[in-house]
């Protein structure tokens, strides 16, 4: 296996809400290899965005990193001074967000915004940055780059704005791209266009991608490996193949069962009962136990560790082997 | 016993004037819906599916066409004449947080509609609030809470309870699950199904999620730039999608593959949805259609039957 580009170890993040605290990330460890596309899947509040955004120093002010390391090429991002982190962010690590309209500067020409990232990081001089911006716009499938350079974000459609965001993120040729729900706000045909573009860029540049998504269809079709987060913990981590063929965590199975796909008119629905915990206390037992059909006394009293049940297949469930063997 | 449909929408069109320019939001849409059945409206942003829902409710007035509800032509009714009918037609929105007053308790929000329509005494209404909350799977103590204290899934259940409070016949569900997590989506879908059965509700289910529309609907209409490009019984339409746009939509859905080597190729359709201010000539889908010919570029296609009730608006369909 290739060397880890980013290695997150035992990350713990807490938010202070005044009257109480939210334990958003509770000991998350994983790594992203060079050239790998990793899918980070979970529902709202699972910690999927917070995990990576904390590593990048991009969490809200009331968020505190309580423990852990996040080593990018061996250097701990969590110990860096803001200036050092700013150097890496946007140059070595590109980020794209769900809503390009709120991430782009509404009063700045899009061409200048793409150039800005190259100039800030001294990736290129003015002339070169301008040429590269036109090249990027072309690569992103934006017609008439020269004319469009001078347009403002509101003059583009949602899909085109997301292409501009990607151009900014890729401008300095990052080794890692963090894509936080990049297609969630887009229509399906546009989602397909954006994912095709990301896949092409990834192949061309040998870039790693961390794809944060709630959509199993996106994750399984795009990523090499998948992490399922719930209540700020990794429930399951597996190659996409294992994930598809042998999910071993009851939450993963429940989620997969919750997805209605084309051609399922006659199927019975079997929703996961209840809802996600509020996270106002650190987990002391399995966070999924109250919704789990297989939960036992042990699940309600003892926190399951993330363990490797077969090569590269990690599950945080006391009964993973039984679940896998359909013994229960 | 043949009965007339609960809802008939006949050649309904809606145009908006925006900064002096005309936008065709809905163009000559027709369908019929029997009581207790579900009509699914699918399409991408700007396809006119939400506008159509609002036209049916008379929250917007159609420029052309007729809307017949329960045997009565409601197209031209005055707001006062509409008022008693409003009890029979309700709506559930995508964002339950935004559709709820932040200063009203959940109980008051549900009771409000009944109070407006002078239904029952205060005590009777409050009893009904309890019943409704229980029916949608919430604890009755929720009535004392404010919207910000509930999760998205809980709030959507409140939105459903509120819509049901007047015993409506027709409920427009406008992207009711799009803002919810997958595990919560299934819960809400199941609830909507149960309620439909129990109260013989008629739904118009608006969604960009084709799989959910297929799952829930009896009839489906696929909209593109305000026009219905294909419509028919859900089973038939999904078994035999005939309009190139319906096919493209279906191909764009990323299904979970059975195995890693059966992944979908990420191949995309060219172009974007054109501006509704300046729709393309002929068939509005022609610039993106892989099969477009000269006739598609020049002439507007007519609606053609490809099954007993399955129609497609495409020159190439037969």
Q: How far apart are CA A52 and CA A54, in angstroms?
A: 5
> What residues in A contact B212, CB-CB < 8 Å?
260
CATH topology of domain A4-92+178-190+207-260+269-324: Rossmann fold (3.40.50)
Decide if A201 touches B, using CB distance below 8 A. Answer: no
Q: Decide which of B317 and B170 is more confident.
A: B170
Interface with chain B: mutation pick from A20, A189, A249, highest number of B CBs within 10 Å: A189
- Encode pLDDT of B268-298 as tens digits: 777 888 888 888 999 999 999 999 999 999 9
Per-residue pLDDT band at A327 (split at 50, 70, 90): low
Q: How far is B280 from chain A (nearest CA, A)?
A: 17
Decide if A185 touches B, using CB distance below 8 A. Answer: no
The secondary structure element, H or E, covering residue A235 is strand A233-239
Spell out the residues 6+ positions from residue B202 whose beta carbon is closer than 8 angstroms to its own. B6, B7, B33, B34, B35, B36, B37, B38, B169, B170, B171
Q: How far is A64 from chain B (nearest CA, A)?
A: 24
Q: Is residue A36 a contact partner of residue A222, using CB atoms and an 8 Å limit? A: no
Q: How far apart are CA A272 and CA A278, in angstroms?
A: 17
Decide if B278 touches A, using CB distance below 8 A. Answer: no
- Encode pLDDT of A269-295 as tens digits: 989 998 889 899 999 999 999 999 999
Residues 254..273 of A with a Cβ closer than 8 Å to B: which?
254-256, 258-265, 267, 269-273
Nearest to A244 among B185, B254, B260 (CB): B260
Q: For the residues A135-146, what does the mean pLDDT come to? A: 91
Q: How many CA atoms lie within 13 A of A153 on its CB side?
A: 19
- Give phi and psi for A183, each to the nearest 5: -120, 5
Percentage, residues of chain B above pLDDT 70: 99
Asked, for residue B208, whether it belongs to a domain, the answer is: yes
Q: What is the average pLDDT value for chain B, to the nearest integer?
A: 93
- Give phi and psi for B147, each to the nearest 5: -50, -40
pLDDT at position A239: 96
> What residues in A contact B190, CB-CB < 8 Å?
269, 271
The DSSP secondary structure of B35-72, one letter per residue, reads TT-EEEEE--TTSSHHHHHHHHTTSS--SEEEEEETTE
Do residue A193 and residue B215 have CB atoms under 8 angstroms apart?
no
Q: Is residue B75 a contact partner of residue B127, using CB atoms and an 8 Å limit? A: no
- Of A168, A203, A199, A200, nearest to A211 by C-alpha is A199
- Encode pLDDT of B236-256 as tens digits: 999 999 999 999 999 999 999
> What residues in A contact B181, CB-CB < 8 Å?
43-44, 214, 276
- Encode pLDDT of A2-35 as tens digits: 579 999 999 999 999 888 999 999 999 999 999 9
Please determine, for residue B318, whether its predicted confidence score (pLDDT) is greater than 80.
no
Please determine, for residue B259, whether its predicted confidence score (pLDDT) is greater than 60.
yes
What residue numbers bound the domain in which B206 lies? 7-235
Nearest to A262 among B185, B214, B268 (CB): B214
Q: For the residues B206-227, what does the mean pLDDT come to? A: 96
The owner of tokens 């782009």 is: A104
Do residue A192 and residue B268 have CB atoms under 8 angstroms apart?
yes
Interface with chain A: mutation pick from B48, B181, B250, B277, highest number of A CBs within 10 Å: B181
pLDDT at position A48: 94
Do residue B256 and residue A216 have CB atoms under 8 angstroms apart?
yes
Please determine, for residue B144, whether its predicted confidence score (pLDDT) is greater than 80.
yes
- Of B162, B158, B164, nearest to B146 by C-alpha is B158
Residue of B nearest to A272 (CA): B183
Do residue A217 and residue B259 have CB atoms under 8 angstroms apart?
no
Least confident of A228-242, A264-278, B130-144, B157-171: A264-278
**Ramachandran quadrant class, B52 (left: phi over 0; alpha: psi -120 to 50; beta: rest):** alpha
Burial (CB < 10 A; 0-12, 13-18, 19+), residue B260, is: middle
Asked, for residue B199, whether it belongs to a domain, the answer is: yes
Per-residue pLDDT band at B97 (split at 50, 70, 90): confident
Asked, for residue B313, whether it belongs to a domain, the answer is: no
pLDDT at position A102: 83
Token digits of residue B74: 């409601």
Distances from the Cα of A194 to the Cαs of A172, A187, A201, in angstroms? 19, 10, 11
Token digits of residue A200: 């092409």
Decide if A326 touches B, using CB distance below 8 A. Answer: no
pLDDT at position B260: 84
The owner of tokens 């029952």 is: B120
Decide if B19 touches A, using CB distance below 8 A. Answer: no
Q: How far apart are CA A236 and CA A254, in angstroms?
A: 13
Q: For the residues A87-113, what does the mean pLDDT come to? A: 92
Do residue B257 and residue A258 have CB atoms under 8 angstroms apart?
no
pLDDT at position A325: 87
Nearest to A245 among B186, B259, B264 (CB): B259
pLDDT at position B2: 54
Nearest to B259 among A43, A241, A258 (CB): A241
Least confident of A179-183, B9-13, B262-266, B308-312: B262-266
Q: Does the model's ipTM exceed the 0.95 cut?
A: no
- Of B257, B97, B172, B181, nearest to A184 by C-alpha is B181
Q: For the residues A211-233, what does the mean pLDDT come to? A: 96
**Ramachandran quadrant class, B118 (left: phi over 0; alpha: psi -120 to 50; beta: rest):** left
- Side by side, which strands form the sheet with A4-16? A21-33, A4-16, A63-72, A75-76
pLDDT at position B139: 93
Token digits of residue A224: 């090499």
Least confident of A38-47, A191-200, B273-282: B273-282
Kindly list the domain boundaries of chain A, sorted by start residue: 4-92+178-190+207-260+269-324, 99-171
Q: Decide which of B301 and B3 is more confident.
A: B301
The secondary structure element, H or E, covering residue A13 is strand A4-16
User: What's the domain count of chain B?
Assistant: 1
Per-residue pLDDT band at B1 (split at 50, 70, 90): very low
Asked, for residue B300, whether it belongs to a domain, the answer is: no
**Ramachandran quadrant class, A30 (left: phi over 0; alpha: psi -120 to 50; beta: rest):** beta
Asked, for residue B61, whether it belongs to a domain, the answer is: yes
Q: For the residues A96-113, what does the mean pLDDT come to? A: 91
Please determine, for residue A133, whether its predicted confidence score (pLDDT) is greater than 70.
yes
pLDDT at position A328: 61
Question: How far, rounded to the nearest angstrom, does the alpha carbon of residue B33 sit from its chain's CA centroid?
Answer: 13
pLDDT at position B228: 97
Please determine, for residue A215, whether its predicted confidence score (pLDDT) is greater than 70.
yes
* CATH number of the domain encompassing residue B160: 3.40.50.300
Interface with chain A: mutation pick from B272, B278, B288, highest number of A CBs within 10 Å: B272
Decide if B255 touches A, using CB distance below 8 A. Answer: yes
């Amino acid at each position: 296996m290739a060397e880890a580009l980013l290695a997150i170890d035992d990350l713990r993040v807490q938010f202070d809400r005044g009257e109480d605290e939210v334990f958003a990330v509770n000991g998350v460890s994983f790594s992203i290899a060079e050239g790998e596309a990793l899918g980070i899947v979970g529902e709202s509040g699972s910690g999927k965005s917070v995990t990576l955004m904390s590593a990048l120093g991009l969490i809200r002010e009331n968020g505190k990193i309580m423990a852990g390391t996040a080593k990018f090429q061996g250097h701990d991002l969590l110990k860096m001074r803001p200036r050092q982190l700013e150097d890496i962010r946007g140059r070595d690590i590109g980020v794209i967000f769900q809503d390009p309209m709120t991430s782009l500067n509404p009063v700045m020409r899009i061409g200048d915004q793409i150039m800005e990232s190259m100039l800030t990081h001294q990736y290129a001089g003015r002339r070169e940055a301008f040429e590269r911006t036109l090249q990027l716009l072309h690569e992103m499938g934006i017609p008439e780059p020269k004319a469009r350079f001078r347009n403002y974000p509101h003059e583009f459609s949602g899909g085109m704005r997301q292409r501009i965001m990607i151009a900014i993120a890729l401008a300095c040729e990052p080794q890692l791209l963090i894509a936080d729900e990049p297609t969630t706000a887009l229509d399906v045909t546009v989602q397909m266009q954006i994912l095709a573009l990301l896949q092409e860029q990834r192949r061309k540049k040998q870039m790693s991608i961390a794809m944060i998504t709630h959509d199993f269809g996106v994750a399984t079709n795009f990523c090499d490996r998948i992490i399922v987060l719930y209540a700020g913990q990794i429930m399951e981590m597996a190659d996409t193949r294992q994930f598809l063929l042998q999910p071993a965590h009851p939450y993963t199975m429940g989620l997969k069962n919750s997805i209605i796909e084309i051609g399922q008119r006659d199927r019975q629905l079997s929703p996961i009962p209840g809802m996600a915990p509020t996270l106002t206390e650190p987990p002391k037992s399995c966070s999924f136990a109250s919704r789990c059909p297989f939960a036992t006394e042990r699940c309600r009293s003892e926190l399951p560790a993330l363990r490797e049940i077969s090569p590269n297949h990690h599950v945080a469930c006391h009964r993973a082997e039984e679940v896998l063997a359909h013994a229960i | 016993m043949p009965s007339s449909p609960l809802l008939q929408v006949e050649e309904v069109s809606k145009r908006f004037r925006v900064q002096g320019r005309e936008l065709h939001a809905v163009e000559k849409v027709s369908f019929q819906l029997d009581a207790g059945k579900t009509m699914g409206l699918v399409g991408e942003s700007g396809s006119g599916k939400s506008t159509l829902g609002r036209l049916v409710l008379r929250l917007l007035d159609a420029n052309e066409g007729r809307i017949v509800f329960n045997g009565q032509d409601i197209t031209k009714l005055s707001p006062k004449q509409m008022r008693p009918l409003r009890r029979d037609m309700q709506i559930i929105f995508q964002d339950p947080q935004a559709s709820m007053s932040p200063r009203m308790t959940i109980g008051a929000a549900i009771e409000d509609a009944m109070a407006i329509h002078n239904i029952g005494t205060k005590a009777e209404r409050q009893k009904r609030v309890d019943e409704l909350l229980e029916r949608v799977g919430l604890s009755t103590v929720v009535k004392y809470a404010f919207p910000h204290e509930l999760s998205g899934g809980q709030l959507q259940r409140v939105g459903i309870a509120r819509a049901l409070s007047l015993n409506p016949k027709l409920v427009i569900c406008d992207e009711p699950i799009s803002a919810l997590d997958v595990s919560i989506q299934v819960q809400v879908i199941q609830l909507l199904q149960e309620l439909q059965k129990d109260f013989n509700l008629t739904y118009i289910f608006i969604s960009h999620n084709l799989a959910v529309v297929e799952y829930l609907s009896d009839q489906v209409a696929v909209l593109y730039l305000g026009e219905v490009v294909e419509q028919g019984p859900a089973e038939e339409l999904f078994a035999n999608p005939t309009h190139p746009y319906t096919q493209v939509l279906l191909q764009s859905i990323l299904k979970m593959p059975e195995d890693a080597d059966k992944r979908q190729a990420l191949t995309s359709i060219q172009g974007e949805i054109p501006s509704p201010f300046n729709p393309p000539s002929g068939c509005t889908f022609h610039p993106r259609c892989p099969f477009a010919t000269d006739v598609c570029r020049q002439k507007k296609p007519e609606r053609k039957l490809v099954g007993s009730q399955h129609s497609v608006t495409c020159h190439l369909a037969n």
